[in-house]
Amino acid sequence: MGKKELKIGELGEFGFIETIKDNCHYSFNHLIQGIGDDCAVIGPYNGNVFLITTDMLVEDIHFILGKIDPQHLGQKVIAVNLSDIAAMGGTPLHGVISMAIPKYMYVTPIHAIYNGMKEMCRRYSLNLIGGDTCASPHKLIINVAIIGEAPEKEVLYRKGAKPGDKIYVTGTLGDSAGGLKLVTEEFSAPESVAAVLMEAHNLPVPCIETGRMIAQSKLADAMIDLSVGFVSDLRHICEASGVGASLLHHSIPISDEIQLFAKNNNLDPYELGLYGGEDYRLLITVPPENCGRFESLFKEDTSHHIYEVGEITAKKGIQMVMEDGKEENLTVRGYDHFIEYQF
């Protein structure tokens, strides 16, 4: 019998990436980091490196046109790319945008999307320098690529975490997942709660200034942005660094809005926080001797709160320590384009 042909839904997004990443580099001239981090890194050039990232958003996968303001969609498209630059401690410079547009779309919402993108670009001093447009048979597709820069010695990667490092996040978890459930499913929330969760989902705020502050401090070992889910993104750091992690259940930061939303809809708020995705916070690991100085950075940066949630371990895998002291091994799951999870 012949070998069974795998479907991509069986392999999953990250499994598929593993199958294609070999033999991608034919010259290592100025290549510092290729596939395997939030950005590719090339350089150095006069002590700086360039950071390059790209993300694609597809209608009915990442957004539903009738359920998001087109201008907000434009803002989100730029924000999720900027978050990758933030995760490496960089400053955004230039961006290019490509759109595949169904012929039946009206021009007005397309202009609104571009207005949202331009608004974010002005906010973060990002130049739009080109791109491409073409027809799409059915759905709107938007792809953004951004070039940033950072001093070579300040760039933070996923692969630097060490046993004993403390694990921090720069905000509450799960708000965006709650907003997504309000958009796509039969869930409800009081108006004030819904407004907070919908804004978290539709208008994420990239941590550019905070990422630069952390990188400049040189107090951290590793950093990643939270896009596919806290546990899944923590797994990326652990695998890249050859370590594991131990989390404290009572320290996972869950907002009052998610607590209320989950209670009203018979959901587990920690499931949303740990696995929901699209929070676009930063996850950072910091050596214990640097933690005091690291935490003091955030007394001046009022744009983000910092939460210590656990510790990097030599033992592989991710464990959750419950309030009664019992340890549970966490199943690593998060958003995967080819595998559907329910939270």
* In a shared domain, residues 139 and 246: no
- Residues 160 and 176: beta-carbon distance below 8 Å: no
* In a shared domain, residues 101 and 172: no
Position 343 confidence tier, pLDDT thresholds 50, 70, 90: very low
Average pLDDT, the chain: 92
Position 302 confidence tier, pLDDT thresholds 50, 70, 90: low
Which residue is listed with tokens 């990188």? 215
User: Which residue range(s) make up the domain with 257?
Assistant: 158-329
* In a shared domain, residues 123 and 238: no
Q: Which residues contact 123 (CB under 8 A, 6 or more apart)?
A: none
Is residue 231 situated within a structural domain? yes
* In a shared domain, residues 184 and 293: yes
Per-residue pLDDT of 142-172, as tens digits, reads: 999 999 999 999 999 999 999 999 999 999 9
Q: Domain containing 73 — which CATH number? A: 3.30.1330.10
Record the pTM. Answer: 0.91
* In a shared domain, residues 142 and 191: no
Strands (E), the chain: 31-33, 40-45, 48-58, 91-102, 127-136, 141-151, 166-169, 222-225, 244-248, 282-286, 307-313, 318-321, 327-329
Return d(Cα 76, Cα 188) in angstroms, integer: 23
Class of residue 325 by CB neighbours under 10 A (exposed 0-12, middle 13-18, buried 19+): exposed
Boundary residue ending a domain (129, 154, 179) = 154
48-58 and 244-248 as β-strands: parallel, antiparallel, unpaired? unpaired
* In a shared domain, residues 77 and 182: no
* In a shared domain, residues 323 and 184: yes
Is residue 22 situated within a structural domain? no
Number of structural domains in the chain: 2
* In a shared domain, residues 185 and 120: no
- Structure letter (DSSP) for residue 126: P
Cα dihedral sign, 299-307-148-44:
positive
Q: Domain containing 296 — which CATH number? A: 3.90.650.10
In this predicted structure, what is the pLDDT of residue 7? 78
Boundary residue ending a domain (135, 154, 173) = 154
Per-residue pLDDT of 212-266, as tens digits, reads: 999 999 999 999 999 999 999 999 999 999 999 999 999 999 999 999 999 999 9
Per-residue pLDDT of 87-139, as tens digits, reads: 999 999 999 999 999 999 999 999 999 999 999 999 999 999 999 999 999 99
Return d(Cα 126, Cα 146) in angstroms, integer: 9
Is residue 9 situated within a structural domain? no
Boundary residue ending a domain (154, 173, 192) = 154
Per-residue pLDDT of 71-82, as tens digits, reads: 999 999 999 999
* In a shared domain, residues 285 and 172: yes
In this predicted structure, what is the pLDDT of residue 185? 79
* In a shared domain, residues 105 and 187: no
In this predicted structure, what is the pLDDT of residue 337? 52
State whether residue 335 is helix, strand or coil.
coil
Q: Which residue would you say has higher pLDDT here, 218 or 18? A: 218
In this predicted structure, the answer to whether residue 85 has a pLDDT above a threshold of 70 is yes
